[in-house]
Structure 1
Amino acid sequence: MINDIAISVIVPAYNAGNHITRSLESLLCQTFTSFEIIVVDDGSTDDTSSVVESILARSTLKSTLLHQRHGGVSRARNFGLEKAVGRYIYFLDSDDYIDKSSLEKLLNAAFNSGSDCVMCGLTKVDETGKVYWCSNRCGFPNEESISADELFPLLVRNTVYFRVGSVLFDKGTAVTNELHFTNGCTNGEDTEFFLKMFFHSRKVSFVDEELLNIHAMKGTASRRASLKLFHSVGSLRRLHKYLLQHGVDDETAQYLEHRRIPQTYVQIIRYLARMGIGFRNYLAIARHGQIRAQIKKFERLGEDRSDRSAELEVKVLLRFPVMFYLYARLFR
């Protein structure tokens, strides 16, 4: 049976008993069956395990429920990746779901093009299931497939948009390059992992359909006002160091250091202010010496409105942090 597994679908789950059903059912109704499901229960304290067991018992698909002490989504994904037997890997978050032909279309694109990674479009749905945003091509070039070398600068510049569940990738590339998620990282861990994956890939394809549906739930890690948001900066700094060690071009390295990392600091501080972090705590962050030193590395690299807007935000935050706080609070 192992030799018939083309894709390993890994679903990390923590206290997901009240929402994982739709995710797993979207896997059970796929249009082909040459895949396995690996659910990693990350030390849940609710009925996640029993819900998962009940759902998977209804299918003849190869499936595994793994258990670990609570260690976070990165550790859970690493555990699943370690146990996966498929040629390709697909991560699906427990609150998201996919169309019934998603895996088949992603796999066909990988086979037909000989790509190491395949991306697809996605939609975002609210808590009622209503679609409120569609990605279209996510900024991916008009070609069906391009070299990873051509795509990588666009990914670093965030011109091409992706999420964990919008990428199918070759397991061998990850194993050969010893890629894994940074344990303990709760924000930006996917960006760090997948940009390393794209960096080591040869060819990337795109399926021009919204195959992934992201369920926007209140209280998820990406929506809370938490200092853990700064993990996103840590992931970019680790990525920058890694790419330098592996011979990335100077232009890409400079963009990370002088644009994306400083701008990410600013975006997080603005978000924390908007979400109601206390003024004293805000000032402590905005005036923190190491944070200010990183933000001061910002360089405007173009003349577009977005470039000028980013530069203005940086200047206001550095020179007038109180004004920046008011701006963030008033223009939410």
Structure 2
Amino acid sequence: MALERPLNPSKTVNAVAARTRTRPYASFIVCTRNRAQALAPCIRSIEAAGSAYPAITSELVVVDNGSTDDTPRELRRIAASSNMTITLVTEPRPGLAAARNSGMERSRGRILVFVDDDCEIDRSYLRDLERHYACSDQRVVRGGRVELGNASDQPFTIKRSKVAARLTRDVHPGGFVLGCNMTMHREVAALIGHFDERFGAGTPLHSAEDTDYLVRAFQLGIPVEYVPDMTVFHHHGRKSRAAIEKLHRSYSLGNGALCLKHLLKAPWLLRHFFWTARSACGQVFGGPRFDPELQLSHWPIVSMNLFGAAKFAYLVVASRAAPTELQPIEERTPELERSR
């Protein structure tokens, strides 16, 4: 089941680049599904960052992942009034990984910037982006700071550390760089390949398509770096503890599948599972819970990790029993593309 194909930027981009002489410096890739109301603030923030730093050319690629609400109409309305180069892509196959792959294929920029549709970027984002890629090795996957967009939301799916860091085996890759604020040079994406379409929102494994990407980069010797700027504001809208616990179980499901997928090539991931299991046992006797701010239990992590591993094993067996050939992404075309 060919779910991790190499990305060939020269092949997939040339047809589009032929229409535009200058390749943009940055390609913002936003994947969306049924969030018509969130799109305008997200896109406006990207436009504002471009206006604030016009020396850096950028484009926006928006992938509609099978929306059933007013998203297509809203996207056409936004594109019609924007001064930014916007490419609208339809990817009907469910799953955030499939949408991200389509966005990569239709992008033209030297730097790929993945931003979620419920996020807004800081006005200085492009300035920070250029500084980091000009002053350091470009062979890196780099993520920036993620703040709450609304103070009334639960403090989850954010990263506020003020200290730059690089991923090591001693740190669990989940959340080290958040998928809502992840960047890389086009050549790095070509080395790592496509996102694994078994993972991510909209799939049976619910999450971890971004974490899987980080693990694969790490295995290739590509550094994974967090920087405390390149800031994104996340308007995730989850205000109840129940909503956070549900999302946390989904993340743990994906991470369990990740452990089994990389069991032979990245066995160090198992170490984090055992540490969590040990903490869960310690919790029975009054030990600390996961996340000092939210005080989440370790036990759902352990149980969902095991369930995720079992689910991944089932998907592998099922795919071998009934193999299907995926249509190459470069052969799928969007319903609408508009460049200005």
For Structure 1 versus Structure 2, the TM-score category normalised by the shorter chain is 0.5 to 0.7
Partner of 1:322: none
Partner of 2:75: 52
Counterpart-to-counterpart distance in 2, 1:38 and 1:25? 14
Distance 1:187 1:54, change over 3 A: same
Counterpart-to-counterpart distance in 2, 1:104 and 1:174? 22
Distance 1:170 1:299, change over 3 A: farther
Native 8 Å contact 1:105 1:207 kept in 2: no
Partner of 1:67: 90
Partner of 1:34: 57
Distance 1:77 1:107, change over 3 A: same
Native 8 Å contact 2:24 2:58 kept in 1: yes
TM-score with structure 2 length normalisation? 0.63
Counterpart-to-counterpart distance in 1, 2:245 and 2:222? 38
Letter in 1 for 2:91: Q
Higher strand share: 1
Q: 1:244 deviation in Å?
A: 4.2
1:180 correspondence with 2:199:
no
State the identity as a percent. 18
Native 8 Å contact 1:44 1:70 kept in 2: no
Counterpart-to-counterpart distance in 1, 2:188 and 2:261? 16
Q: 1:100 deviation in Å?
A: 1.4
Partner of 2:330: none
Q: 1:64 deviation in Å?
A: 0.7
Partner of 1:239: 258
Distance 1:53 1:129, change over 3 A: farther
Counterpart-to-counterpart distance in 2, 1:218 and 1:172? 36
Counterpart-to-counterpart distance in 2, 1:171 and 1:234? 30
Counterpart-to-counterpart distance in 2, 1:106 and 1:214? 18
**Highest RCO, 1 vs 2 (Cα 8 Å, sep ≥ 6):** 2
Counterpart-to-counterpart distance in 2, 1:104 and 1:193? 25
Q: 1:236 deviation in Å?
A: 2.4
Distance 1:131 1:40, change over 3 A: same
Counterpart-to-counterpart distance in 2, 1:91 and 1:232? 19
1:259 correspondence with 2:279:
no
Counterpart-to-counterpart distance in 1, 2:62 and 2:157? 28
Distance 1:244 1:99, change over 3 A: same
1:83 correspondence with 2:106:
yes
**CA deviation profile, 1:282-319 (whole Å, cap 9, x unmatched):** xxxxxxxxxxxxxxxx899xxx9569x99x965xx99x
Gaps of 5+ in 2: 1-19, 304-340
- Alignment RMSD (CA, Å): 4.1
Letter in 2 for 1:217: G
**CA deviation profile, 1:194-244 (whole Å, cap 9, x unmatched):** 333344353455443361100021499x93776x86553453244334444
Counterpart-to-counterpart distance in 2, 1:130 and 1:237? 24
Counterpart-to-counterpart distance in 1, 2:163 and 2:182? 14
Partner of 1:10: 29
Counterpart-to-counterpart distance in 1, 2:158 and 2:66? 33
Q: 1:139 deviation in Å?
A: 6.0
3-state secondary structure, aligned to 1:36? strand
Distance 1:108 1:140, change over 3 A: closer
Letter in 2 for 1:186: H
Distance 1:198 1:56, change over 3 A: farther
Letter in 2 for 1:152: T
Distance 1:188 1:139, change over 3 A: farther
Q: 1:123 deviation in Å?
A: 0.8
**CA deviation profile, 1:38-82 (whole Å, cap 9, x unmatched):** 111112122212212222233333211111326132221122122
Letter in 1 for 2:30: V
Distance 1:211 1:229, change over 3 A: closer
Partner of 1:274: none
Counterpart-to-counterpart distance in 2, 1:126 and 1:18? 15
| Structure exhibiting the larger radius of gyration computed from Cα positions | 1
